[in-house]
Amino acid sequence: MSKVSFPNLKLTVELEVGGSLREALRRAGADVEFPCNGAGTCGKCRVKLAKGQEAKVHENAHRFLNEEERKAGYILACQATVLGDVTVETDVPDSEGEGLRILSEGNSLDVELKPWISKEFDGASTHLLAGAERIGLEHGDTTAHQYGLAVDIGTTTLVSTLLDLRTGKELATSSSLNPQARTAQDVLSRIKLGSEPAGLAKLQREIIDELSRHAADVAQQAGIKPEQIYEAVFSGNTTMLYLAIGANPVSLGKYPYTLTREGAEHVPAAEIGFAISPEGLVYLPPVMSAYVGADISSGILASRLAEEKGVILFVDIGTNGEMVLARDGVLTATSTAAGPAFEGMNITCGMRAGRGAVERVALSDEGIEIATIHDAEPVGICGSGLLDVVGELAAHGGVDKNGRFQYNGSSPDKPWKDRWDSVDGKPVFRLSGPVYLSQKDVRQVQLAKAAIRAGIELMLKENGLTPAGVDRVLIAGSFGFHLRTESLINLGLLPREFAGRVEFVGNTSRTGAQALLLNHPLRGKLHCVTRAVSVLELAKDPAFEKIFIKSLQF
């Protein structure tokens, strides 16, 4: 056996000789992510060996570390096997996601208070009701305690809000990183892992354990017991809901992408191991397709898309660019795979929206302005900062329409011209110290923004519209809330005709879930709305590739 020591964690784990360093890190609980599930395609699991330890590991060949980093002792954990006792330097785990910027607010709507869960006191005991059905009996009068959870299960983040079902009042909120993101970054990676029994069990356990922790956290904040939470609404994309309830997602990952669960149903909380009331229920909102899920259903509800007049485009910008076009209440939906660039996961200096992440960049004749989360020293670039810097370079001639860096004579009179640098002989635009943008990063942004723009163009075309015919554009999601309209237009992610029409509506997945929790008749109405939605399958549209290639341009 080999001993792998982590001085920063004050911990040593044993591992068989030839075992993966990735497994040692997992056993130690180190704060190292494996977004590609150990495939060696993301380069995010770099750790540093203590001096003189290089001979004690074998590392497979890869392209993610330069010579300077290798000399400093850095390796990729997922590509390294342990040959003897070795010491590894890594960060202390951040299980609470401290410093991570997670949005819980969003457009909400006033609803009549009609929860699915209620209580009746008969003079001796309290009957717990789900609709008209009695599902539990409690000693004494417990009618004063009736609570529920509205939960947004995002691919990257989780948000849970505790509500008093008698008054509709928000009592507490808990948020964190989705722990599945440490194992597999994107939806397709999780589908692949979850298609096998062991992988599915692991992914479900990760998400339910974390949501149970949320339930305990909000209960403590409100001074109640988790057992007094009787219903939760889980809002998330289709894959996230499948994984949360332990449903095999294999059919979502291959043509014809069929649904085995369509939502609009209850699942017993005890059946999935969710630590609320033993009689508690979890409601899953309706989903529209394999890639247009309950988070978008909740967004339709929170934004009143089926009720509003005019032409409204709803876009949730993230790993999956999900969108709905409402034309006088008639809805068309689609989804396009934007990839993990917006989460910073395949970006050279990319990171999540945590402490020290560059989140704002502005170029001008006066120079460059950079803002970081918590005003900390820059340590990486999160999604909003990434789109800002690429958008600003596109607007000021730093990249051409094809996305190529213009560093030779393109900005001789600009005060930020000295930001051009090189790493491993390749040009980069340096933001601050170790944080820079590479040509490869620009390409990743191009691919992501082109996917979303192509989806928008085809949605409009399907409905006989042009960008000028859109009255309002609603940008939803935690990531979208931190973006600037100017950056989205400079990039070409949104057409220029959308200027002045864009609204940022926040986390409508959570606020829609909240409405469904407080007013159960809305569930039937939403189900009827979603069943009438026309889902546009972009993969089947012969025009998609042509529009996608055109949309790559800035």
Q: What CATH number does the domain containing 493 carry?
A: 3.30.420.40
Residue 47 Cα distances to 23, 59, 96, angstroms: 13, 12, 21
Q: What is the CATH number of the domain that holds 176?
A: 3.30.420.480
pLDDT over threshold 50, residue 473: yes
Does residue 361 share a domain with residue 287? no
Q: How far is CA 209 from CA 34, 246, 275, in A?
A: 19, 13, 8
Please state the φ and ψ torsions of residue 386, each to the nearest 5 degrees: -60, -50
CATH number (domain holding residue 22) = 3.10.20.30
Percent of the chain with pLDDT over 70: 92
Split at pLDDT 50, 70, 90, the class of 224 is very high
Answer whether residue 96 is part of any domain.
Answer: no
Q: 427 with 452, same domain?
A: no
Query: Do 419 and 396 form a contact (C-beta atoms < 8 A)?
Result: no
The DSSP symbol for 143 reads T
215 three-state secondary structure: helix
Decide if pLDDT at 394 tops 70. Answer: yes
How would residue 94 be classed by pLDDT, with cut points 50, 70 and 90? Answer: very low
Mean pLDDT of 237-247: 97
Is the four-CA dihedral 552, 440, 186, 194 of positive or negative sign?
A: positive
How far is 480 from 457, CA to CA, in rounded Å? 19
- pLDDT band at residue 65 using 50, 70 and 90 as cut-offs: confident
Residue 103 domain-assigned (yes or no): no
CA dist., res. 316 & res. 319, Å (int): 9
Residue among 551, 501, 512, 218 at smallest CA distance from 401: 551
Cα–Cα distances in angstroms (integers) from residue 401 to residues 364, 381, 395, 406, 553, in the given order: 19, 23, 10, 10, 5
Euclidean distance between CA atoms 130 and 155, whole angstroms: 30
Domain count, the chain: 4
Residue 140, number of CB atoms within 10 A of its CB: 9
Which residue segment(s) compose the domain that 369 sits in? 341-443
Residue 448 or residue 48, greater confidence: 448
What's the number of CA atoms in the CB half-sphere (13 Å) around residue 13? 18
In angstroms, what CA-CA distances link 235 with 155, 204, 238, 294, 516? 11, 15, 9, 5, 10
Distance CA 444, CA 421 (A): 20
Banded pLDDT at 105 (limits 50, 70, 90): low
Contact between residue 503 and residue 534 where contact means Cβ atoms under 8 Å apart: no
- 266 with 347, same domain: the answer is no
320 and 456: one domain? yes
Asked if residue 505 belongs to a domain, the reply is yes
Rounded-to-integer distance, Cα 486 and Cα 280, Å:
46
Q: Give the H or E element holding residue 384.
A: helix 383-395
Q: Mean pLDDT lowest for which of 33-37, 225-229, 291-295, 387-391? A: 33-37
Q: Is residue 109 a part of any domain in this protein?
A: no
Q: Quick one: pLDDT at residue 29?
A: 67
Look at residues 312, 300, 303 and name the one whose alpha carbon lies nearest to residue 471.
312
What would the mean pLDDT of 544-548 be, rounded to a whole number?
Answer: 92
Q: Using the predicted structure, report yes or no on whether residue 138 has a pLDDT greater than 80.
A: yes
Residue 517: inside a domain, yes or no?
yes
- pLDDT value at 454 more than 90: yes
E strand or H helix that includes residue 155: none
Q: pLDDT tens digits for 6-43? A: 887 777 888 888 888 887 777 776 667 665 656 666 67
- pLDDT at position 502, please? 94
| Domain final residue pick, 402, 423, 443 | 443
Please compute the mean of the pLDDT values over residues 238-247 and round it to a whole number. 97
Indicate if the pLDDT at residue 88 is higher than 90: no
Q: Is 434 helix (H, G, I), strand (E, B) or coil?
A: coil
Residue 493 has pLDDT above 90, yes or no: yes
Q: Does residue 154 share a domain with residue 235?
A: yes
What is the side-by-side order of every strand in the sheet holding 125-130?
Answer: 117-121, 125-130, 133-139
**For all residues of the chain together, what is the average pLDDT?**
88
Rounded Cα distance between 339 and 451, Å, is: 9
Same domain, 182 and 273: yes
pLDDT at 488 over 50: yes
Quick one: pLDDT at residue 97?
45
CB 453 within 8 A of CB 461: no
Residue 429 and residue 378 in one domain: yes
pLDDT for 31 equals 62
Segment among 79-88, 267-276, 498-507 with least mean pLDDT:
79-88
At residue 104, does pLDDT exceed 60?
no
On whether residue 191 sits in a domain, the answer given is yes
Residue 57 placed within a domain: yes
Render pLDDT for 196-221 as a digit per residue (tens, 0 to 9).
999 999 999 999 999 999 999 999 99
Angle, vertex CA 206, rays to CA 202 and CA 209, nearest 5: 130
User: What is the reported pTM?
Assistant: 0.82
For residues 309 and 455, membership in a common domain is answered with: yes
pLDDT surpasses 80 at 238: yes
For residue 73, is pLDDT > 90? no
Side chain identity, residue 134: R
Residues 226 and 352 in one domain: no
Residues 154 and 287 grouped into a single domain: yes
Tell me the per-residue pLDDT of 344-358, one tens digit each, with 9 for 90 and over: 767 888 887 778 889
Average pLDDT over residues 312-323: 88
Band (95; pLDDT cuts 50, 70, 90) = very low
Decide: 88 and 20 in contact? Cβ < 8 Å: no
Higher-scoring residue by pLDDT: 130, 59 = 130
- The secondary structure element, H or E, covering residue 147 is strand 147-153
Q: Are residues 436 and 497 in the same domain?
A: no
The verdict on residue 106 lying in a domain is no
Report the greatest alpha carbon distance in the chain: 85
Write down the pLDDT at residue 512: 95
Q: Is pLDDT larger for residue 477 or for residue 511?
A: 511
Instruction: Report the alpha-carbon distance of residue 210 to residue 23 in Å, rounded.
Output: 21
- What pLDDT is recorded for position 480? 59
Shared domain for 243 and 151, answered yes or no, is yes
Please identify which residue in the block is written with the tokens 């009143």: 304
d(CA 33, CA 37): 9
